[in-house]
Structure formats: C-alpha cells, structure tokens
Amino acid sequence: MIQPEKIEEESFRIIDAELPSHFRFTPEEHAVTRRVIHATGDFEFARLLRFHPRAFTAAFEAFTRIANVVADVQMVQAGISKVNLTKFGGKVLCFMDDPDVWASAKAAGHTRAIETMRRARALGDGLIIVIGNAPTALLETLRLIDEDGWRPALVIGVPVGFVSAAESKDALHATDETGVPYITCLGRKGGTPVAVSITNALLSLALGRRETAQAAQGS
C-alpha cells in the first residue's frame, strides 16, 4: 500500500510516464501542466494550455513584490494556497459576494463578475488575476486592459463553460505578446481546479526559485 505522503509523488510519476512524448515544455510549463492534469485527471490539458512568453517571469516578479491575487469566485479563492502566498506577504481577494457588487451589478443590468473586475481595477496595476469560472470576468478584464490601460501583472484566465468561455480565452490568447502576460487554455474546458492548480504551481515554483537564490547567497 502506498503511504499517504507518497500518493502525490506517485501520481506525478504516472503523469510523467503517460504524458505523450511529442509534447515539449519548458521546466516551468511542465510543472504547471502536470499540476493541472493531476487536478483534473485530463491529459488533454497538455494540448490546451497556452503560456505567454513572460508568464513565469511576470508571476515570479509579482510574488516577490507582494502582489495580491484577485479571484473571480470564492471557490477559486478558497483553493489557492494561503500558506504559500503569505510567505510572500500577499493576500487572495474576492469581491463576488460583496453587497455593493450585488447592488452595482443589479443597477447596471450585468453580471457580478464584471463588477468584481471593476473593483479589482480600482486597486491599481500589478495584481494577479485568477479567473476559473466567469467568462464575463475575463472579457471585462480584457476590456479594462484595452480601453482603460489597466495592467495586471498576470492574468490566469481559464473559465469553464459553453457560453463565451472559449471565446473569452481565445481573446486572451490573441493579445499581443508585448501586452499583459497570461496563462490560459483553449476551448470549453477549465474551471476552479484548473485555475487553482495553475496558481499553486506558480507559487511553488516561485518559492523554489527564492530558496535557490537564498542558498546561493549564503554559499
């Protein structure tokens, strides 16, 4: 019988063994992809995930300067590792259930997800935006970037669903490579497990990088 602490290790071994050899990832891309596959049991994400060229650099820089994370829904907020984020001094924020978000969305006749991103915009640039469920949150994020000059540090945009989910992620993927860095996946798939696993993988990578740098300084 596999010991509890060895289950994740064995899962990753199986994933690495079964991941088709024609997929070519950087070490960072591989770390994120295997986490997503581990969370979903779905090897198709090896084909669907897309990484902006500066996604990892942007994430590491953001964590280092204590960037906060804004999640589109509470499920995403709950899944992100507070322990690891706190090591960088950051917090996970979510505005979906705030009374003024409810009121503003009702008055305007649009979704609370749109209002959550407007609340995030009011906090300024440099945030990490994590969207796993609401395509309208991603579309509003892109509008604020394009029309309002908003500059999040990184957009993790992986909403799931049948209405505007694929289209919103296509729009994110189509943004200029000099623009806001992103991680996304193509098609209808996505959701909370994908958004959370990407974010937690980035946190683990950032902590590993920091520990390596500290060890090098101490040697």
Query: Alpha-carbon distance 52 to 188, whole Å?
Result: 19
Closest CA to 119 of 133, 135, 140: 140
Angle between helices 165-173 and 135-148 (to 10 degrees): 30
The amino acid sitting at 162 is F
Query: Alpha-carbon distance 215 to 53, whole Å?
Result: 27
CA distance between the termini of the chain: 40
38 among known catalytic residues? yes
CA distances to 64, 161, 179 from 58, rounded to whole Å, are 10, 27, 11
Catalytic residue selected from 22, 30, 38, 110: 38
How many CB atoms neighbour CB 188 within 10 A? 15
The residues assigned a catalytic role are 38
